[in-house]
Amino acid sequence: DQQVKQNSPSLSVQEGRISILNCDYTNSMFDYFLWYKKYPAEGPTFLISISSIKDKNEDGRFTVFLNKSAKHLSLHIVPSQPGDSAVYFCAASGKEYGNKLVFGAGTILRVKS
Amino acid sequence: KAGVTQTPRYLIKTRGQQVTLSCSPISGHRSVSWYQQTPGQGLQFLFEYFSETQRNKGNFPGRFSGRQFSNSRSEMNVSTLELGDSALYLCASSLWGLTSTDTQYFGPGTRLTVL
């Protein structure tokens, strides 16, 4: 049973436009959410995180939005650049869950120039 | 600071064999976590070691085991390999590990193929 779901396996966006990656979770005990980016032949690298006490966190071109009532979070990349092309993983954790990271299956983002 | 290193990067084994993978964390990090990545499944948590003790465990069979040494280096062992064990195995290190919201830094992974 997948507790963290990324329902879009892939997304294609034009350079300069906004990329929106979505993630849904089912476990209400999750209280910390993260996005990781992964290039081929490399390990995932941490991108941005958000605590459940917030609904938005921004870091440069990257913004994560959290909607707790809908158990939904999204990552916005504005403007998208070709170097953003990678696999993006959403992850969730919670103290009640031992702080283990539970990952989604990932979304492949392709930014076309 | 050097990043997380994993050896070997690629491995080919046959069913029934056993395998040992190694992970060296970032200097000063005491927590090492292991994950399995398979297509369509994302990353699944295997276990976490902190100060040579297994502190957290995921839902994997006992064929998957690990250990951590006093220098925080960690090894993961899989015995009696099955075809379904073919995956990318990632380790991640952090200062305090899963007791906090420390950022986890991942290594490049070991690609294991079981024939």
pLDDT value at residue B96: 83
* Best CA proximity match to B47, nearest among B62, B61, B33, B64: B33
Locus of tokens 């938005």? A56
Q: Which of A39-43, A97-101, B84-88 reaches the highest mean pLDDT?
A: B84-88
pLDDT digits (tens, 9 = 90+) for B3-36: 999 999 999 999 999 999 999 999 999 999 999 9
- CA dihedral (B70, A95, B44, B61) positive or negative: positive
- DSSP sequence for B59-80: S--TTEEEEE-TTS-EEEEE-S
Kindly indicate the confidence band of residue B63, based on its pLDDT and cuts at 50, 70 and 90: very high
Set of chain B residues whose Cβ sits within 8 Å of the Cβ of A99: 56, 97-101
Query: CB neighbours (10 Å) of residue B102?
Result: 15
* Amino acid sitting at position B45: F
Between CA B21 and CA A113 the distance in angstroms is 39
Q: Is B45 an 8 Å CB contact of chain A?
A: yes
Q: Is B107 an 8 Å CB contact of chain A?
A: yes
Those residues whose C-beta lies under 8 Å from the C-beta of residue A50, and which sit 6 or more positions away, are A32, A33, A34, A56, A57, A64, A66, A73
Q: Is the pLDDT of residue A94 over 90?
A: no
Set of chain B residues whose Cβ sits within 8 Å of the Cβ of A91: 43
Locus of tokens 């305090």? B96
Kindly indicate the confidence band of residue B103, based on its pLDDT and cuts at 50, 70 and 90: confident
Higher pLDDT, A2 or A51: A51
Between CA B28 and CA B42 the distance in angstroms is 28
CB B68 within 8 A of CB B52: yes
pLDDT value at residue B15: 97
Nearest-by-CA chain B residue for A96: B99
Per 3-state DSSP, chain B is made up of helix, strand and coil in percentages (nearest 5) of 5, 50, 45
Q: What are phi and psi of B97, to 5 degrees?
A: 70, -150
Nearest-by-CA chain B residue for A39: B108
pLDDT digits (tens, 9 = 90+) for A37-51: 999 888 999 999 999
Q: Is the pLDDT of residue A34 over 90?
A: yes
CB B19 within 8 A of CB B107: no
Between CA B7 and CA B22 the distance in angstroms is 5
CB B105 within 8 A of CB B4: yes
